[in-house]
Amino acid sequence: MVRRRTSIHGEWSSRWAFVLAATGSAVGLGNIWKFPYITGENGGGAFVLVYLLCIAIIGIPIMMAEVMIGRRGRQSPVNTMYNLGIEAGSTSHWKWLGWLGVVGGFLILSYYSVIAGWALDYIFKTAAGTFTNANAEFVSRTFGHFINSPATLLFWHTVFMLMTMVVVAKGVNGGLEKAVRFLMPSLFVLLVIMVGYAISTGEFMRGLAFLFEPNFDNLLYKHEAGGQFILNTDGEKIFTLEYVLIAMGHAFFTLSLGMGAIMIYGSYLPHNASIAKTSFMIAAADTAVALLAGMAIFPVVFANQLDPGKGPGLIFETLPLAFGNMPGGMFFGTLFFILLVFAAWSSSISLIEPAVAWLVENKNMKRVSASVIMGIACWLVGVLTVLSFNVWKNVHPIDFWVFKNKTFFDVLDYLTANIMLPLGGLAIAIFSVWIMSRSSTSDELDMKENTFAYNLWYFMTRYVTTIAVLVVFANLVGLI
């Protein structure tokens, strides 16, 4: 048994603090901004069902593995994988898995910051009464003018990156932990209020049907833009697992898996905290927020004859409409976008933390200096996303394979969520059950080797999770 390590960066004050922080990392724009629009784009209920299965059979086992590895190593993902690879009698080259997570988180934050900037701007728009008594056409036109202004998007992107840098510079206990104790429960309460409003729209049942009634034709066969099935030369519908890959990628994205965030947060977890219990709590809270967001948004979409597959702008063209036409909407709308920003804020901190921790550990930097350097670098990459919505919206930097006809933003989004994160999660699963010893994993998970709970996690991670990810990747590259 290896001697217990300690983190030089500090430790969460309790298991509850870790749950809130990790939930804050998981719950953010991925749940409230991304989940509704990718559900709308990918057929509704069938996609949701596959997403929930991905959370259960892939997300939770890998989350347990990633938290376990993080707490075992007690360092940045790069150094953790380097040391644990040697400790397991394997190779120090496992450090490249750490780098995959660090780079993935960095790239996600570069465009995440831009979208969070949208929410920042909408705080002031809502507070000023811009959407009071507005109709769908006005709300859509307002959003269109907004994203067509690169200067405006760049300004809010800059503000959000500065916010992220400030909190990261304050460290584990001084910044993030204090904020999430209030912000995450408040966001959940406001989402429940939004669901209450959605019930009053008259289209609540239609929204629920879209969200929870699966139509697998919509999921398993390729479509044209108009919703028609694409047929092969024999007149048969073309089968695809691409939507399964998107659901799996979003499970990784929304749980913050494979990007170093959960690993670094796990490194701050006290040894007396149960990894299994905290992982289930985080996954449950994260999934509940995503489903509540769908229940709040889709009835409003249908009540106002909007397109559920509208894309990244969906939340900014539905929630303002709802707030603008509900009693007290100006107040609740402003508060909602404030809390959405803070949810994004807590996620952004976790995305940049692995890179900052590595600079502190390996370059002897102060946290302030490391935060500034990484923040500026991330801001520069984010400019590509800013321009993707206006000046460069017709620029396709990698116009082949799965990246064909995608903007810079689309490329970064697809590359990270659908390739890098699942690939990182697959490697984490392999390392935790094929490289690390059973005695090491059972010790860190605080489970005896011969118990049902440990054997279930071991089996799911070693076989079910690994095979599921490999099958979807095989489909992506055309092997099946």
Is 88 within a domain?
Answer: yes
- CA gap 458, 462 in Å, rounded: 6
Q: What average pLDDT does the segment 297-321 reach?
A: 81
**How much is the pLDDT for 174?**
62
Is 422 within a domain?
Answer: yes
Is 278 within a domain?
Answer: yes
∠469-475-479 over CA atoms, to 5°? 115
State which of 30-44, 56-70, 463-477 shows the largest mean pLDDT.
Answer: 56-70
Sheet strands (E) in 369-457: none
User: Is the predicted pLDDT of residue 457 greater than 60, yes or no?
Assistant: yes
How is residue 28 annotated by DSSP? Answer: S
Please name the residues in contact with 192: beta carbons below 8 A apart, sequence gap of 6 or more. Answer: 292
Residue 265 CB neighbour total at 10 angstroms:
27
Considering its fold, how many domains does the chain have in total?
Answer: 1
Domain with 38 in it: 15-476
Is 428 within a domain?
Answer: yes
- Give the up-direction half-sphere exposure of residue 351: CA atoms within 13 A in the CB hemisphere: 33
CB 277, CB 21: distance < 8 Å:
no
Residue 4 token pair = 């217990």
Is 3 within a domain?
Answer: no
Q: What average pLDDT does the segment 385-408 reach?
A: 91
Is 2 within a domain?
Answer: no
- CA gap 249, 246 in Å, rounded: 5
Is 359 within a domain?
Answer: yes
Residue 283: which CATH number? 1.10.4160
Is 10 within a domain?
Answer: no
pLDDT digit string, tens, across residues 141-168: 999 999 999 999 999 999 999 999 988 8
Q: Which residue blocks in 238-328 are alpha helix, DSSP H? A: 242-255, 261-266, 275-303, 314-324
Please name the residues in contact with 189: beta carbons below 8 A apart, sequence gap of 6 or more. Answer: none
Predicted TM-score of the model (pTM): 0.86
Q: How confident is the model at residue 308 (pLDDT cuts 50, 70, 90)?
A: confident
**Based on the number of CB atoms within 10 Å of its own CB, is 436 exposed (0-12), middle (13-18) or buried (19 or more)?**
buried
Residue 314 CB neighbour total at 10 angstroms:
25
**Based on the number of CB atoms within 10 Å of its own CB, is 120 exposed (0-12), middle (13-18) or buried (19 or more)?**
buried
